[in-house]
Amino acid sequence: MKTIIAACSQNLSGSRASIQTALRTLLAAPWPSQRDVRSWLQLLSVLQWVLSFLLLGTVSLLVLIYLVFTSFWPISALYLAWIIFDWDTPEKGGRRLPCLRRWSVWRYFRDYFPVKLVKTHDLSPSHNYIIGSHPHGILCVGAFCNFITGSTGFGEMFPGIRPFLTTLAGNFRLPIFREYLMSGGLCPVTRRAIGYLLSNNGTGNAVAIVIGGAAESLSCRPGVTTLILKNRKGFVRMALQHGAHLVPSFSFGENDLFRQVVFEEGSWMRSIQQRFQKMMGFAPCVFYGRGLTSVQSRGFLPYARPITTVVGEPVTVPKIENPSREMVDMYHDMYVCSLLKLFNENKTKYGLSETDELHII
């Protein structure tokens, strides 16, 4: 018995010594600094955003289909009934949630790049506006951060102005994802949705449209500033029909967030991309960014590159219900001149050289 007790005592004392040694090692180890914690929070905020836009809609749809074949099928049935009942809401201003726009996660999202908003002229709340957002880039980070989140101070810079951002109408047919989009102030890029905001929602509305669209994303790569704008005139016609002023904006650094494999015009891969884009509304870009573990690894997260969105001078537009082609062309030319002026006056301030030019095709 004494032998057993002695053996147990030795084991217990050995265990205590091991635990004490481990605690000393843990306490002596360097704790993550505040800067390290902040960097990880920034990375996680970007990760959740990328996953939301790439997977939330598809995963939610698959889950609801799966539930149909289980005892939880009423969940799918009720949500389908809700979508049918709520079908037109995205076309009628959506369902904004101010609390989501003020979500603290967006501050870490902003600081990851970082994203900055620059105001050059006032916008009067007594008018409505169409803001042209350039360039498209891969995921429109600058447009989302500035016009959907409140992290860059849009509301303080432009008091009385309610910003909206347009995106593909098909996104609002995906379950759960449609609620996420509407809560931030996104709406379909359709004539009906934009017309509602410009005519049935009072004044002080600013509808941001990424004019180059999916076609422009196919040419997105660092060091290239090419915009698809020459034949994009529908937004000018809508501005004239509703008397909404045109405001150019340019996000310097947007094209530096990812690396893309750009296929030459006329190649079979480029043809496949263009056909897919015409059928589905978005382009299947072959791109990569940084990985989750390190900057050197490859993944789908954007690189941390500064983005500065400069909002330019409004082009005053009269209200003409049936504008002629000549009238549309004239205001389109005025808008392009205003955009070129904005680009040339700010390019050297935000990472470009004096010789860099804005190519419009």
Residue 19: per-residue pLDDT: 62
Least confident of 8-12, 124-128, 220-224, 340-344: 8-12
Q: Is residue 252 within 8 Å of residue 307, measured between CB atoms? A: yes
pTM over 0.75, yes/no? yes
Buried b (16+ CB within 10 A) or exposed e, 226-250: bbbbeebbebbbbbbbbbbbbbbbb
Average pLDDT over residues 314-339: 96
What are the two backbone dihedrals, phi and then psi, of residue 10, each rounded to the nearest 5 degrees? -65, -40
Average pLDDT over residues 262-286: 65
**Amino acid code (one letter) for 289:** G
308 or 99: whose pLDDT is higher?
A: 308
Residue 66: per-residue pLDDT: 96
SS3 content of the chain, % helix, strand, coil (to 5): 50, 15, 35
Average pLDDT over residues 354-359: 88
**Amino acid code (one letter) for 308:** T
Buried b (16+ CB within 10 A) or exposed e, 196-218: bbbeeeeebbbbbbbbbbbbbbb
Residue 5: per-residue pLDDT: 38
Residue 26: per-residue pLDDT: 43
Residue 294: per-residue pLDDT: 84
Q: Is residue 214 within 8 Å of residue 277, measured between CB atoms? A: yes
What are the two backbone dihedrals, phi and then psi, of residue 127, each rounded to the nearest 5 degrees? -125, 165
DSSP type of residue 301? B
pLDDT tens digits along 278-309: 666 566 666 788 998 888 888 889 999 999 99
Q: In whole numbers, what is the pLDDT of the chain averaged over residues?
A: 87
Average pLDDT over residues 110-121: 97
Average pLDDT over residues 29-55: 85
Sequence-distant (≥ 6) Cβ neighbours of residue 285 within 8 angstroms? 138, 217, 218, 220, 260, 273
Give the helix/strand (H/E) hosting 20: helix 2-28
Residue 18: per-residue pLDDT: 62
pLDDT tens digits along 148-190: 998 999 999 999 999 999 998 989 999 999 999 999 999 999 9
3-state SS class at 222 = coil
Residue 10: per-residue pLDDT: 45
Residue 275: per-residue pLDDT: 72
Residue 86: per-residue pLDDT: 95
What are the two backbone dihedrals, phi and then psi, of residue 325, each rounded to the nearest 5 degrees? -60, -40
**Amino acid code (one letter) for 153:** G
Average pLDDT over residues 98-125: 94
Residue 278: per-residue pLDDT: 66
Q: Is the pLDDT of residue 355 over 70?
A: yes
- Look up tokens 């799966």; give the residue: 66
Residue 316: per-residue pLDDT: 96
Average pLDDT over residues 211-230: 80
Residue 22: per-residue pLDDT: 56
361 or 247: whose pLDDT is higher?
A: 247
Residue 213: per-residue pLDDT: 84
Residue 249: per-residue pLDDT: 98
Q: Is the pLDDT of residue 210 over 90?
A: yes
